[in-house]
Structure 1
């Protein structure tokens, strides 16, 4: 447990559904560890529990059984303990980019002048210099996601959860953002847990991939990506990566059809 910053120990979770409030089991005793500085992606069929993992980590849901550890400590109240970047950027359209970016610092009670000063120092690193006084509607999807990622960084947590943040972007912008994200991850040395439906994206970004196989999940399948770092998108054409991609797609397809 000493090297892990996030751990699920024998986690069970179910939803209550329908008029009779019948229990639908999502997890039945799953275990996993995410180590300090890792980039781990989660893939799986729709409804298999990918987003539920994030809700459990953030504290929006609590397990029916088992324990969740953050930075080596069993943590009951997890609200606000990790950074979160959603699929939609959730920027406030009436706030400027600077005003959106300072939001996590405001929530922490930092004085306005100090919060704005800190954000202004980071704008260049995030490719946002010169747009701080614009509004979200003035920016492209990729630029808005940069603001969203900046907010997750400013949460101060060493653990960042990214929930399909590039799924709405066109293919070229998406690849550019993936490359940019890897550069930021290596610079900030954060631990990232990343949800995606795109197997290529998971292979390109990740050290390991967690595969959910359906409901209820009794265990995760863990796959180590056979690529070193730094890497480029061309590395996805290597034979061992192509073979792994085909295996993952076959595994996901079989669960979607079952």
Structure 2
């Protein structure tokens, strides 16, 4: 998204001078992760985070979801500083975490039930969405009866039913085979365009990041003081073939070299 485009959209997620350190069990030593970080993400953006293992990507998600709180600074959701963020953003983990004893309809309805809506009403709300998510006729099946891609669709549907306009997706396709993964990337983009939500996505796959994103945040050495941002020079709609453009191939090579340097360093 261009700077001009950002100015016309409202901020839905903002870090203001956020500092965070992990402390050991004795609370005597700490490992700094973020140091006075400032960044903003805008409505209907698709942001991808890439970085070496242990660079702080998952920590960022833990802070956004409220599983951790900053040592200093503020995290704003939709313009409001939120100290208690648990349950206020949608979250889709790396593993689908579907409950094996519940049907697909019952699994998808779980966020609605947690809002104390009657089960019958929750199931009624979910049923028409199953067709939209490519799950028509699957409502009475159990998770073990579905393919990995189908299970991830259920997990994504469940995340959207949190009611939040912010969705966090933590490497959701990493366990899928290559062909299914490509299909799910295209499906996710279609759903994101329909849902009109803001997505923050973690991946180790640079191709995936380039295909899906408006901007890419590159995590480097800790503590992180500034998030390096890379604008993806692709309009929308886009296709996987667009990644063959010389400018995208060059950008991919730059990102891979940068990530390789972080690992080797």
The answer to whether TM tops 0.5 is yes
2:45 is matched with which residue: 38, 47, 52? 38
Q: Distance in 2 between matches of 1:208 and 1:41?
A: 7
Task: Give the number of equivalent residue pairs.
Answer: 258
Q: Aligned residue for 2:215?
A: 208
CA contact (8 A) 1:48 1:214 kept: yes
| Partner SS for 2:32 | strand
Q: Aligned residue for 2:244?
A: 237
Q: Distance in 2 between matches of 1:57 and 1:102?
A: 23
| Structure 1 position 69 matched with structure 2 position 76 | yes
Q: Aligned residue for 2:200?
A: 193
Two-structure CA RMSD over aligned residues (Å): 1.2
Q: How far off is 1:17 after superposition? A: 2.9
| Structure 1 position 149 matched with structure 2 position 151 | no
| Partner SS for 2:138 | coil
1:85-104 residue pairs with structure 2 within 5 A? 85-104=92-111
CA contact (8 A) 1:47 1:214 kept: no
2:260 is matched with which residue: 249, 253, 256? 253
Q: Distance in 1 between matches of 2:189 and 2:254?
A: 25
CA contact (8 A) 1:87 1:166 kept: yes
| Partner SS for 1:124 | helix
Q: Distance in 2 between matches of 1:12 and 1:45?
A: 20
Q: Distance in 2 between matches of 1:4 and 1:110?
A: 30
Unaligned runs of 5+ in 1: none
CA deviation digits over 1:108-157, x for unaligned, max 9? 01111111111001010001111111110010000000000000111000
Q: Distance in 2 between matches of 1:173 and 1:9?
A: 38
Are the structure 2 counterparts of residues 5 and 20 from structure 1 closer, same or farther at C-alpha, using a change threshold of 3 Å?
Answer: closer
10-19 or 183-192, which moves further after superposition?
10-19
| Partner SS for 2:259 | helix
Q: Distance in 2 between matches of 1:219 and 1:93?
A: 42
21-30 or 10-19, which moves further after superposition?
10-19
CA contact (8 A) 1:8 1:33 kept: yes
Q: How far off is 1:20 after superposition? A: 7.2
Unaligned runs of 5+ in 2: 1-6
CA contact (8 A) 1:14 1:25 kept: yes
CA contact (8 A) 1:85 1:149 kept: yes
| Partner SS for 2:131 | coil
CA deviation digits over 1:175-218, x for unaligned, max 9? 00000000000001000000000000000000000011021111
109-118 or 165-174, which moves further after superposition?
109-118
